[in-house]
Amino acid sequence: MDVALIELESDHPGFNDLEYRARRDEIAGVAQGHAPGSPIPRITYTDLENRTWAEVYQGLTSLFPTHACREFNRIFSELDYPADSVPQIADVDAFMKERTGFRMQPVAGLVGARDFLEHLSRRIFCSTQYIRYHDRPLYTPEPDICHELMGHAPMLAIPEFADLTQKIGQASHDATDEQIEQLATLYWFTVEYGIVREGGDLKAYGAGLLSSYGELAHSLEGEVEIRSFDPAEAAMTSYPITSYQPTLWEVDSIEQAFEKIRRYLDIESC
């Protein structure tokens, strides 16, 4: 492929690796050619891509028992991902559909906030299929298949979490650009970076934490400010996207996060 489908930021670990970029574009091109509703295309991953997955898998699964919430660990064990090869999102799609009705739709890269939220409102999760740069397997500045399958998919198979995610998406209907930005921020602080207190200990339920070895350890070991989740305050709080989060919001349960967001959105729509 001669022309990159998706431009990378200059600080992306694979920015100067033309072979990696060509392969990333090849997989992104498969997603661009996919018609929604048709069978999800399967990718034949290379040995290097499978080794990258294996390193990510090994690192994260060493932390999940102590750092991930109990609901995540339960579903993750049922997904039974292979430790040494990249799973296919077509298989995970079938698992999620059976559990909560959420479906996966392959995409070529980042999706705009309004479009992404609209898909969530219909229980469709936009998922990349390419994998992060092999020389930095424990870090990625963008969503990749490790982030989607290690972070998002297990949580979207939990009914309460699926409902929370869809509720945020539904609130985007007829929303102004400012409201879309606030909803995207709520999504960030819950679905991506939410934490829950279990038996006095903080555990991750957000996909951004669950798919990042370094940040998962960093965030739950006293390195960041922890606030009690307040949707009105959180929706107006800025956050970095290329570094560890300085502030996280905790809840006592995923159901509590759902109820707080439901009340906030109902008030905002009045």
Per DSSP bridges, beta strands 124-127 and 195-198 are: unpaired
173 is catalytic: no
SS (H, E, C) 51-70: HHHHHHHHHHHCCHHHHECH
C-alpha to C-alpha distance for 35 and 129, rounded to whole angstroms:
15
Tokens of 212: 């990042």
159-170 and 113-121 helices cross at what angle (nearest 10)? 130
Q: What residue ranges in the chain does DSSP mark as E strands? A: 103-106, 124-127, 195-198, 201-204, 225-228, 247-251
Q: Helix, strand, or coil here: 29? A: helix
**Active-site residue flag, 55:** no
User: What tokens were used for 112?
Assistant: 């705009």
Residue from 127, 172, 211, 219 carrying the catalytic annotation: 211
Q: Which of 147, 148, 172, 219 is catalytic?
A: 147
Catalytic residue among 71, 148, 192, 215: 192
User: Buried b vs exposed e over 94-115: b needs ≥16 C-beta within 10 Å?
Assistant: ebbeebbebbbbbbbbebebee
The active-site residue out of 67, 148, 152, 172 is 152
Q: Which residues make Cβ contacts (< 8 Å) with residue 183, sequence separation at least 6?
A: 113, 117, 168, 171, 172, 175, 235
CA-closest candidate to residue 191, choices 227, 153, 228, 226: 153
Residues in the chain: 270
Query: Would you call 147 a catalytic residue per the annotation?
Result: yes
Active site residue ranges: 147, 152, 192, 211
